Amino acid sequence: MSDAPLAGRVAVVTGGSRGIGAAIAALLAEAGAAVVVSGRDADRLERTAKDLEATGASIATVIADVASREDCERLVDTAKQRFGRLDVLVNNAGITRDGLVVRMKDDDWDRVMETNLRGAFLMTRAAAKVMMRQKSGRIINIASVAGAMGNAGQANYSAAKAGLIGLTKSTARELAHWSILVNAVAPGLIETDMSAAIPEAAREALLAQVPLGRIGTAREVAEVVRFLAGEGAAYITGQVLHVNGGLYI
Ligand code: NDP
């Protein structure tokens, strides 16, 4: 069915309760996948799930912190128990704790690393075991332009996102044998709660460097994730797809 190319597939989207993750969950559901969305805020997660279910999608929610191994394993188990398999993992959950490196608190470094990088590792390890038994799967890591370019005030975040790109390339090589494709999508400046927290002057300075001259939308990132999850991307692995209006060329 061309209008439901992911029918019968099961996806997990971490941090699927708002922003880019919610847009990804919506497009994967629109393509016919059953989607399990996670986040820490139960109310926000339930509201998003209700909106998605209203479109006729099969949705499950799991309150889970990606920094917790137990939570990650419970999330993957829930996908298997509810829908029988796991085809697509989108490691989207992420946070910022910005500050100049000389003033950065240990906790700001640790929280960003354990959410943005360790979380993706924990989810990848748990999901890959299921996908290896199926001999197929797609893992899509949401990195950032900051992981490629660096960004003053984001040493922790940039290091985590650069690490995520390394994780993507290594796991792509390891898991290819089981037809599991691993890629990263690296957004630039995208309109969400996260970018709304950037001070106005810094945001304007960043926008001035975007050749397309505007901020991107969560949907524009989600479109690329949907492509990577589908049959059209069957020969792509270990790559970083940049979605940034030309900010990094
Ligand atoms: P938002 O802050 O809008 O949303 C973040 C999502 O992640 C929420 O659903 C949040 O839910 C969830 N989340 C945060 N921490 C955890 C955690 N420990 N465990 C589980 N879920 C968590 O961010 P965006 O949508 O903007 O960002 C999504 C991804 O895209 C991130 O990885 C981000 O780094 C990346 N990105 C964003 C850019 C942008 O300009 N917006 C640019 C480049 C990359 P809850 O708080 O309930 O846990």
Task: Tell me the C-alpha distance between 168 and 175, whole Å.
Answer: 10
Is 152 within a domain?
Answer: yes
Task: Tell me the C-alpha distance between 218 and 21, whole Å.
Answer: 8
- Average model confidence (pLDDT) across the chain: 97
Digit-coded pLDDT (tens) for 202-228:
899 999 999 999 999 999 999 999 999
What are the phi and psi torsion angles at 49 (to 5°)? -60, -40
Is the pLDDT reported for residue 1 higher than 60?
Answer: no
Res 216: pLDDT: 98
Digit-coded pLDDT (tens) for 8-52:
999 999 999 999 999 999 999 999 999 999 999 999 999 999 999
Q: What is the largest CA-CA distance in the chain?
A: 55
Is 20 within a domain?
Answer: yes
Task: Tell me the C-alpha distance between 23 and 246, whole Å.
Answer: 21
Res 189: pLDDT: 97
Digit-coded pLDDT (tens) for 71-118:
999 999 999 999 999 999 999 999 999 999 999 999 999 999 999 999
Res 229: pLDDT: 98
Contact 190, 218 (CB under 8 A): yes
| 168 pLDDT tier (thresholds 50, 70, 90) | very high
Is 19 within a domain?
Answer: yes
Res 2: pLDDT: 56
Is the pLDDT reported for residue 241 higher than 80?
Answer: yes
Looking at the DSSP bridge assignments, the partners of residue 146 are none
Res 4: pLDDT: 94
Ligand 1 atom closest to 116 (CA): 32
Is 181 within a domain?
Answer: yes
Digit-coded pLDDT (tens) for 148-158:
999 999 999 99
| Dist. CA 145 → ligand 1 center (Å) | 15
Secondary structure of the chain in HEC code, one letter for each residue: CCCCCCCCCEEEECCCCCHHHHHHHHHHHHCCCEEEEEECCHHHHHHHHHHHHCCCCCEEEEECCCCCHHHHHHHHHHHHHHHCCCCEEEECCCCCCCECHHHCCHHHHHHHHHHHHHHHHHHHHHHHHHHHHHCCEEEEEECCHHHHHCCCCEHHHHHHHHHHHHHHHHHHHHHHHHCEEEEEEEECCECCHHHHCCCHHHHHHHHCCCCCCCCECHHHHHHHHHHHHCHHHCCCCCCEEEECCCCCC
Is 205 within a domain?
Answer: no
| Dist. CA 165 → ligand 1 center (Å) | 17
| Dist. CA 171 → ligand 1 center (Å) | 22
Looking at the DSSP bridge assignments, the partners of residue 243 are 187
Contact 73, 126 (CB under 8 A): yes
Q: Which residues line ligand 1 (CB under 6 A)?
A: 14-15, 17-21, 38-41, 44, 65-67, 92-95, 115, 142, 144, 187, 189-190, 192-195
Instruction: Tell me which residue range forms the domain holding 233.
Output: 10-187+219-240
Is 193 within a domain?
Answer: no
Domain total of the chain: 1
Is 192 within a domain?
Answer: no
Res 3: pLDDT: 81
Looking at the DSSP bridge assignments, the partners of residue 216 are 190
Q: What is the CATH number of the domain that holds 231?
A: 3.40.50.720
Is 3 within a domain?
Answer: no
Tell me what the mean pLDDT of segment 157-164 comes to. Answer: 98
